[in-house]
Amino acid sequence: MRILGIETSCDETGIAIYDDGLGDSPEGILAHRLYSQIAVHADYGGVVPELASRDHVRKTIPLIKQVLADANLTPQDLDGVAYTAGPGLVGALLVGCSIGRSLAYGWELPAVPVHHMEGHLLAPMLEDDVPEFPFVALLVSGGHTMLVRVDAIGEYKLLGESVDDAAGEAFDKTAKLLGLDYPGGPALSKMAESGEAGRFKLPRPMTDRPGLDFSFSGLKTAAGTLVRKECTDLTDTELKQTNADIAHAFQQAVVDTLAIKCKRALQQEKLSRLVIAGGVSANTALREQLAITTKKLGGSVFYPRPEFCTDNGAMIAYAGLQRLKAGTDADLTFKANPRWALDSLPPVK
């Protein structure tokens, strides 16, 4: 079975075709393309929902045509169309939903609405080293930070989540305080590489109490206070180094917090396998720390390649294929779900 995946939940248009390998084609991604809207939103310092929606309108159909050409396929070679139905920006979601459902109707194919975070959760399945069920998943991005127990596809138990800012959101906001351009998260991580460890100390929020919930708003505020206190009356060279030291302290605080919570979750659930996914999972410092954490517990960590950490069509195609095999086929109506609980999804039988 081959399925087309469409991702338009925020500021990236991702299109891919995935094949289950049971026919003439090898299993895996036959083609994928991604268009990022960074240039569209850079002047505003963040995503402008209306501009995001309009850009998805312009880019989605051309990218679908390109992906079909890349795979040397026609719509008649497909067995279904999957599209992100939520969570995300409602206008952006509606673009993908309406295009995906319309194409499925016109091509006489099943339509499969996909949960964006289930796509991220299953993204490591696109790699050669695939985790076995059950495992604990850390989903960490600009919009979400959550820990989930995963017993099978669709069998999810929410263990903890952010009560305010997501980790990726805190990265972007702190980067802005340091004068970095949008998107600030990757730029802050790059700056942190030249920072001096130990010069500044920032809190590890909510690690001094039981539980698996997260909070990064206070950490962002603490970083802002540090910037205002330390980054005045400095030479350019001193300012550059001080900013790098603050970036290092902030990143280490986030990494330590996530690692502490992941360790707790694995011990609580008596599991040894950890999956990390979402945009922040591409962070090198986080990957290294979680590898150390899981090794000490006698376990292992799994994650997708960097290009599949951020939003992409391949993860939606893969997740959609699993739902399609289970019999999912949306009716002619479609609905965008800007808020959609992951643990409300039905299991795949």
- 316-328 residue pLDDT tens: 999 999 999 999 9
Mean pLDDT check: name the lowest of 2-6, 24-28, 284-288.
Answer: 24-28
Q: Is 311 annotated as a binding residue?
A: yes
Instruction: Quote the mean pLDDT of the chain.
Output: 96
Residue range 271-294: average pLDDT?
97
Q: Is residue 109 a known part of a binding site?
A: no
The whole-angstrom separation of Cα 333 and Cα 18 is 25
pLDDT at 18 over 90: yes
pLDDT of residue 23: 64
| 241-279 tens-digit pLDDT | 999 999 999 999 999 999 999 999 999 999 999 999 999
For residue 176, what pLDDT band results from cuts at 50, 70 and 90? very high
Question: For residue 106, which amino acid is it?
Answer: G
pLDDT for the residue 102:
97
The per-residue pLDDT for 26 is 62
Domain 130-303 has CATH 3.30.420.40: yes
* Interatomic CA distance for residues 7 and 88, integer angstroms: 10
pLDDT at residue 113 is higher than 70:
yes
For residue 263, give the amino acid letter.
K
Three-class secondary structure of residue 248 per DSSP: helix
**What are residue 6's DSSP bridge partners?**
15, 83
For residue 82, which of 10, 13, 16, 153 has the smallest C-alpha distance?
Answer: 16
141 annotated among ligand-binding-site residues: yes
Residues of the chain with CATH 3.30.420.40: 2-123+308-344, 130-303
Among 21, 24, 272, 37, smallest CA distance to 126 is for 21
Q: How confident is the model at residue 25, as a pLDDT?
A: 62
Among the listed residues 131, 159, 130, the one whose alpha carbon sits nearest the alpha carbon of residue 145 = 159
* Interacting residues of 243 by C-beta distance below 8 A, sequence separation 6+: 178, 179, 191, 227, 231
Residue 320 annotated as part of some ligand binding site:
no
| CB contact set of 96 (below 8 Å; sequence gap of 6+) | 6, 7, 8, 9, 56, 60, 83, 84, 85
Query: 87-98, pLDDT tens digit by residue?
Result: 999 999 999 999
Q: d(Cα 106, Cα 223) in Å, to the nearest integer?
A: 52
pLDDT band for position 24 (cuts 50, 70, 90): low
Is the CB of residue 117 less than 8 Å from the CB of residue 137?
Answer: no
Check whether 248 is labelled as a binding-site residue: no
**Nearest one of 10, 247, 282 to 138, comparing CA atoms:** 282
d(Cα 33, Cα 317) in Å, to the nearest integer? 12
- Cα distance between residue 35 and residue 13, in whole Å: 5
The whole-number pLDDT of residue 349 equals 82
Q: Is 143 annotated as a binding residue?
A: yes
Confidence of residue 22 (pLDDT cuts 50, 70, 90): confident
Round to whole Å and give the CA distance between 163 and 23: 45
Neighbours of 208 (CB within 10 A): 8
Give the mean pLDDT of 132-149.
96
Residue 158 has pLDDT above 80, yes or no: yes
139 in a known ligand binding site: yes
CATH topology of domain 2-123+308-344: Nucleotidyltransferase; domain 5 (3.30.420)
Q: What percent of the chain has pLDDT over 90?
A: 95
User: Rounded to an integer, what distance in angstroms lies between the CA atom of residue 147 and that of residue 9?
Assistant: 21
Q: 6 with 17: CB under 8 angstroms? A: no
pLDDT in tens, 179-222: 999 889 999 999 999 999 999 999 999 999 999 999 999 999 99
Alpha-helix runs per DSSP H in the chain: 38-41, 49-70, 90-107, 116-122, 167-177, 184-192, 217-230, 236-269, 284-296, 313-325
Measured CA to CA in angstroms, residue 14 lies from 10, 34, 84, 302 at distances of 10, 4, 10, 22
Query: Does 140 belong to an annotated binding site?
Result: yes
Q: Any known ligand binding at 215?
A: no
